Amino acid sequence: MTIARRELILGGQRSGKSRRAEGCAAEWLARSAAHGAVLIATAMPHDDEMRERIARHQVDRAQRVPGLATVEEPIALGPALARLSTPHTLVVIDCLTLWLTNLLMPVEPAPHGTAASLERVQASLLRALRDARGPVVLVANEIGLGVIPMGGEVRAFVDALGRLNQEVAAVCERVTLMAAGLPLSLKEPE
């Protein structure tokens, strides 16, 4: 697998998105002892099931990619990417969908949920992605392939995620769609 400077990995739930991102990190780490890799996790443990899921992912990830460090950042993704990106560090962001959920549907009301601040936060992420000094792999769900949701709030979320995915894809040299653990290339470096 060739590491792109910036790659967006899209797919449905359990499609193999995170596993592919981890594979990129493992390959990057294997290339040189000088290389590092860090995962920015955006999930927030709001209930017992999510806490168990996060713990299981941490254990599994540590076994599959022992050199992959983890930083938890559910909101300030742009500043975290800017801080962690170095020429010798591959950054994995997993995942944009949960990050957007944290912004648009916070469990506790917060001032960052407004449309104006959402634009600022997304602009910050896109700026950090463009300015990243090392490779970046982003994971996001592709949820716009099914039926149109009944509720207005859910439709707004699907629209927002679709726009975010398009903006991130425009910045990335590689875009990969995962289905049943298999990658389908949507965009390759020129």
- Known catalytic residues are 57
What is the number of residues in the chain? 190
Q: What is the distance between the alpha carbons of residues 182 and 145, in angstroms, rounded to a whole number?
A: 17
- What is the DSSP secondary structure assignment for residue 87, as one 8-state letter? T
What SS3 class is residue 46? coil
Residue 47, by phi and psi: left (phi above 0), alpha (psi -120 to 50) or beta? beta
Sheet bearing 36-41, strands edge to edge:
68-72, 36-41, 89-94, 136-141, 6-11, 174-179, 182-187
* 141 in Cβ contact with 8 (< 8 Å): no
Structure tokens at 113: 């949920």
Neighbours of 22 (CB within 10 A): 21
